[in-house]
Amino acid sequence: MTSRRVLVTGHHGYIGSVLVRLLTEAGYQVVGLDNDLFVNNRFVGQVTHVAGLRRDLRDIAAADLEGFEAVLHLAALSNDPLGSLNPELTYKINNEASMQLARLAKKAGVGRFLFSSSCSMYGAAGPGMLDENAPFNPVTPYAESKVLVERQLTSLEDQDFSPVFLRNTTAYGVSPFMRFDIVLNNLVGSAYTTGKVLIHSDGTPWRPLIHVEDICRAFIAVLEAPREVVHNQAFNVGVTEENYQVRELAEIVREVVPGCVVAYSPNGGPDPRSYRVNFSKIKDALPGFQPKWNVRRGAQELYAACCEARLTLEDFEGPRFTRITHIRKLLADGRLDSRLRWTSTGPVAVPAVSAV
Ligand SMILES: NC(=O)c1ccc[n+]([C@@H]2O[C@H](COP(=O)([O-])OP(=O)(O)OC[C@H]3O[C@@H](n4cnc5c(N)ncnc54)[C@H](O)[C@@H]3O)[C@@H](O)[C@H]2O)c1
């Protein structure tokens, strides 16, 4: 068993909470850091308890980074709608605070800095397959923030500090801090709660997908790979065979969820966010990365979880599992201020981490 000490930011998020579980199972000593924006929004499944700092990324201090061999940095405003709420704030949280974290990590002697980046930095790309050399074409403040951090992190690399860029494609699957605002989770949730697999476009856009656990397996493979294999490298994180058109995803969901039909939203037209991604690099460079899921099994897992949770339409459509709607509600209720910091009523209402 290893007992290597790592810091995971965003550990009370959709991916981070699964990552903490898999790292702990692999023998890592994990410390988490999160400002707990979504910590009340539990879904099914156990939360793995680790030592945690309830801390805003913007307030990180040198002492927070002492004694880690790696930082796995996931905390962020994590999708396009959240990133567009206030682009200046997105810049401050996703970019400036990430770079401050990286500089402090480097100063503290942390050897590896794994950045949770995104394939969305390739932007509107057409039907061709994108690899890591594809030009960046970010079309939203969120995607722009990922490009900026990658560029700036590169300038910190040296023989003692290895930034690595994990460009995740869209995740799916069950997490204790669930999201239903990502495509496969959304299609299954819609089928379960309404009997309709509701497609919000014309169904033609391409989406590469990966299970949330397999994203975490990629992070662990990067942690365990020889330094020279990952040093200052970008990896698209996904599986080449798992590029789907949205209408294909909907068809799989229809076959998995009993008694539902595929339907198209009346406002749905062509969606410019269509791209196909080649994931050969991670497969060839990191033999330790062994993805275990595919979309059909993921849809079955999601359907079973919806049944276990008895997911209601209100929860499916409301703030509980949709990041932007939840943040809008916290703002409207005065629990977050306009800089997305907890007001005096916020932290009091959030249960202690150990009670989750
Ligand atoms: N889920 C996906 O499909 C996907 C795809 C590509 C990339 N990513 C990236 O992976 C990372 C994790 O995504 P996720 O789906 O788990 O998102 P998430 O929204 O579920 O989790 C993000 C976490 O960051 C925390 N956070 C936000 N602002 C913070 C701040 N100022 N200080 C401290 N903590 C803060 C939130 O409380 C939350 O727990 C993000 O960087 C996201 O951009 C996700």
- Segment 230-248, tens digit of pLDDT: 999 999 999 999 999 999 9
Ligand 1 centroid distance, CA of 264 (Å): 29
pLDDT at res. 2: 47
pLDDT at res. 301: 98
Give me the residue label for tokens 């567009």. 84
Which domain range does residue 33 map to?
Answer: 5-332
User: Would you say the CB of residue 48 lies under 6 angstroms from ligand 1?
Assistant: no
Q: b/e map of 192-202 (b: 16 or more CB within 10 Å)? A: bbeebbbbbbe
Ligand 1 centroid distance, CA of 157 (Å): 24
Ligand 1 centroid distance, CA of 10 (Å): 6
CA-nearest residue, atom 9 of ligand 1: 116
Q: Which atom of ligand 1 is nearest to the CA of 179?
A: 20
pLDDT category at 32 given cuts 50, 70, 90 is very high
User: Would you say the CB of residue 327 lies under 6 angstroms from ligand 1?
Assistant: no
Residue 342 belongs to some domain of the structure: no
For residue 353, the Cα-to-chain-centroid distance in whole angstroms is: 20
Ligand 1 centroid distance, CA of 301 (Å): 22
Greatest C-alpha distance within the chain: 58
Ligand 1 centroid distance, CA of 16 (Å): 8
User: Would you say the CB of residue 205 lies under 6 angstroms from ligand 1?
Assistant: no
pLDDT at res. 268: 76
Residue 350 belongs to some domain of the structure: no
pLDDT at res. 274: 82
Residue 338 belongs to some domain of the structure: no
- Segment 103-124, tens digit of pLDDT: 999 999 999 999 999 999 998 7
- Segment 274-320, tens digit of pLDDT: 889 999 999 999 999 999 999 999 999 999 999 999 999 999 999 99
Of the candidates 213, 216, 227, 331, which has an alpha carbon nearest to the alpha carbon of residue 285?
227
Residue 253 belongs to some domain of the structure: yes
pLDDT at res. 1: 46
Residue 88 belongs to some domain of the structure: yes
User: Would you say the CB of residue 299 lies under 6 angstroms from ligand 1?
Assistant: no
**Range 186-206 average pLDDT:** 95
Q: Which has more pLDDT, 74 or 272?
A: 74
- Segment 7-28, tens digit of pLDDT: 999 999 999 999 999 999 999 9
Residue 44 belongs to some domain of the structure: yes
Q: What percent of the chain has pLDDT over 90?
A: 88
User: Would you say the CB of residue 14 lies under 6 angstroms from ligand 1?
Assistant: yes
Q: What percent of the chain has pLDDT over 70?
A: 94
Domain count, the chain: 1
Residue 187 belongs to some domain of the structure: yes
**Range 211-236 average pLDDT:** 98
User: Would you say the CB of residue 181 lies under 6 angstroms from ligand 1?
Assistant: no
Residue 340 belongs to some domain of the structure: no
The CATH number of whichever domain residue 179 belongs to comes to 3.40.50.720
Of the candidates 211, 122, 213, 225, which has an alpha carbon nearest to the alpha carbon of residue 164?
225
Mean pLDDT of the chain: 93
